[in-house]
Homo-oligomer: A and B are copies of this chain.
Amino acid sequence: MNQTGPGQAAGQGEPADVGSLPGGARAALEAVLMVIDQPATAAELAAGLNLTVDVVEGLLADLQQEYNGYTGKAPDVDSASSQGVTATPRGFELRNIAGGWRIYSRAEFADIVAGFVLEGQTARLTQAALETLAVIAYRQPVSRARVSAIRGVNVDSVVRTLTQRGLIEDSGTDPESGAILYRTTSYFLERMGIGSVAELPQLSPHLPGLEGIEEFYDAGRM
């Protein structure tokens, strides 16, 4: 999907040359970021802007820094001369989460923004839900029975709630037991502000080889 210009999709002949518009490619990228309602990858953005992924990644990094106040330069000022000038951050930030880029209001203004954004306010998870989510996040794909075994309690209703909240999802069935396996969703990554589950913090270092425990488990399963 890389080479097809966005203009064509819209039913116009020529793909627009983003460089010729005021503000150039950087402003065009900003314009697109204004209308996306879910994170977009650099590749998707590049395809839409008819630019290479490398160029788009460079622009995204620039914008991110600029919004964070690392450079106070106006977009057309020579970048070498003013790079590193520190200004105050903007009220929003550009973040790369779950593989996609998106604009967020800055966390410092949470109290103020919350007053304007009623929807999307999510109730906090209970301790039981958090622990179940943690086990699933670190052991995915995993069956409810396995999560129950680790937590020592029945987790059925908690798993249902986590699914409804969009934090976990069905990822097929275990070929042996036929049990449904669960994994975390990209919405979970988004809520955690990370790019992939590999970025989750390490489990306590003093936990003796978890692999060994898994074997114990299977032996001791009911």
What is the interface of chain A, defined by CB distance below 8 A to chain B? 1-2, 4-12, 15-16, 18, 21-24, 26-38, 40, 44-45, 47-49, 69, 72-77, 85, 87-92, 103-119, 121, 123, 125-126, 128-129, 148-149, 152-154, 156-158, 160-161, 163-166, 169, 178, 180, 187, 219-222
Given A30-B105, A77-B87, A157-B220, 5 more A-B residue pairs with CB atoms under 8 Å apart are A6-B111, A10-B115, A23-B91, A28-B112, A164-B221
| Bound-complex Cα distance A123 to B9 (A) | 11
| Bound-complex Cα distance A12 to B32 (A) | 34
| Bound-complex Cα distance A219 to B9 (A) | 46
Please determine whether A117 and B31 come into contact, CB atoms closer than 8 angstroms.
no
Please determine whether A6 and B161 come into contact, CB atoms closer than 8 angstroms.
no
Q: Which residues of B contact A121 (CB under 8 A)?
A: 9-10
| Bound-complex Cα distance A137 to B37 (A) | 24
Please determine whether B157 and A163 come into contact, CB atoms closer than 8 angstroms.
no
